[in-house]
Amino acid sequence: MPSLRPRAGVFFSLASCSLALLAAAAPAGCAAMGSGTDDGGPPAPPGPDGAVPATDAAGEDRGAVGPDGTAPPDAGSPGADAAAGPDSSGPAEGGAADAQPTADAGAGPDSGAPPFTCPAGPFGNPLPATVAPTRVAGLPPKAAINMQGNGFTTIEGPAWLGSTLYVSEFPGNPSPPPSRILFLTSAGDIGAVGGLAADGGVDTGSNGLAVDRAGNLYGAIHKDGSVSRIDPTTGARTVIAGMYMGTRFNSPNDLTVRSDGTIYFSDPNTSQTPSPTPQTQTRAYRVAPGGAVSVVDATLTNPNGMTLSIDEATLYVSSNNGVFAYAVAADGSTGPRPTTPITTMNIDGMGIDCAGNLYGAVINTLNVVVFSPSGAMIGMITVPGNPTPQGVTNVAFGGADHKRLYITAQGSSGTQGLYQVDLNVPGMPN
């Protein structure tokens, strides 16, 4: 796979920017992290939060992204007001799905990377005799967002694109909190999307990340309650779906993208959700390639992790109720929630390998559990302590042969971070 890295000038210059912060006068390129709210500036060029206006299928401007980051509804939609703000459109009649045309966010350095395809099997045990994850030194870099390494942050949403791993980092407050996207290249370079700066570039407001077959990066954005396409160089965002029934989503948490462009995402009510809570229920959603939003399941308590099976015939969703496997039809629609969960463990983010084995990060533990396609537990991967994180959060495969499993973790005072371990079976990039 070709070496595709963020363009020159986005790696950290910690010494100069840290000194600038101490002097309370940051040089150009060392701007501070945003507060987690948009400034309402003009949509083009991208504002400080990186959001850009969406366009319809004909390339017509659908209006500037509003203060919460969502785009106004298409003027051609029933009941839509072309001048309306992002939350001022009325609910869709009869509970109909909100139609929100997709738009192109522009190509970043890793955009268009060849998609990963699983090699032919058969595959054996995915776990080596000795499974010993190691911590990736230097991630996250010290910055104001993590109180120069002394505060609590969550590392989340690992996604491998080209030859680079992308992850989100965000603190525990305010609600919703600011967030930045960090990267780790195959050469070991660590930096932040959007530029230099001790604070690490732009506030993307992201949680979970995902990639599609065309090499685009997507994010579940708790900042504005959207699912957005993200330029991996600048952090500029284009909202793909920003509301349901005329109201922004709570705090999109995780997402996965099918090969036809269908996006599935979770929308729980968490510490990243603004007050008052926008949606009346926590739900799992589907965004069709044309932009229409529909509900996968409205009965789950805080749906969380999302991933698809290798054949894309099954959607796995974790929640407070357990992990469930939903049948996926050819058109991307899903069947009802099964009666019996795969596990009742409290699972956060999930990943899948080429043998169909499911990997789940167990909340508030150091463990990643591995289940076979039949639901039998194969084994467990435990990240080391010293320093000991509060808990693992998510997983994704990457590396030259996609056999390297990356594990993200949350914590404080340098215990949060990223781990890696090489396994026997390759897996999917998010």
Per-residue pLDDT tens digits for 30-43 = 333 332 323 333 33
Tens digit of each residue's pLDDT (9 = 90 or more) over 75-94: 333 233 323 333 333 222 23
What are the DSSP calls for 226-263, one per residue? Answer: EEEEE-TTT--EEEEE-EETTEE-S----EEE-TTS-E
Q: In this prediction, what percent of the chain has a pLDDT beyond 90?
A: 70
Instruction: Retrieve residue 183's tokens.
Output: 């990267």
Q: What pLDDT score was predicted for residue 115? A: 85
Distance CA 42, CA 145 (A): 26
Residue 158, SS3? strand
For range 115-125, the mean pLDDT: 93
d(CA 204, CA 217): 12
- The rounded mean pLDDT for the chain is 79
According to the model, what pLDDT value does residue 65 have?
Answer: 33
Q: Report how many helices (DSSP H) and strands (DSSP E) the chain contains, helices first.
A: 1, 26
Residues 325-338, mean pLDDT to the nearest whole number: 97
362, 373 Cβ separation under 8 angstroms: no
pLDDT the model gives residue 68: 34
pLDDT digits (tens, 9 = 90+) for 230-264: 999 999 999 999 999 999 999 999 999 999 999 99
SS3 assignment, position 67 = coil
Q: DSSP code of 369?
A: E
pLDDT at 210: 98
pLDDT score, position 21: 28
pLDDT of residue 196: 53
For the chain, list the domains and their CATH numbers: 1-430 (2.120.10.30)
Residues 6+ apart with CB under 8 A from 136: 184, 190, 417, 418, 419, 420
- Give residue-wise pLDDT tens across range 145-193: 999 999 999 999 999 999 999 999 999 999 999 999 999 999 999 999 9
pLDDT value at residue 86: 31
Alpha-carbon distance of 412 to 410, in angstroms, equals 7
For 216, phi then psi, to 5°, come to: -100, 150
The arithmetic mean of pLDDT across residues 318-330, rounded, is: 98
Give Cβ neighbours of residue 94 (< 8 Å, ≥ 6 apart).
Answer: none
The pLDDT value recorded for residue 114 is 78
Over residues 322-335, mean pLDDT: 98
pLDDT tens for each residue of 353-388: 999 999 999 999 999 999 999 999 999 999 999 999
Pairing of strands 377-382, 367-371: antiparallel
Residue 155: what pLDDT? 98
Place of tokens 């400080």: 48
Residues 6+ apart with CB under 8 A from 266: 220, 252, 253, 254, 255, 284, 285, 303, 304, 305, 306, 317, 319
Half-sphere exposure of 228 (CA within 13 A, CB side): 34
Question: Stretch 22-33: mean pLDDT, rounded?
Answer: 31
The larger pLDDT score, comparing residue 135 to residue 72, is at 135
**Are the beta carbons of 47 and 38 closer than 8 angstroms?**
yes
pLDDT in tens, 397-425: 999 999 999 999 999 999 999 999 999 99
Q: What is the CA radius of gyration of the chain?
A: 20
pLDDT of residue 22 exceeding 50, the answer is no
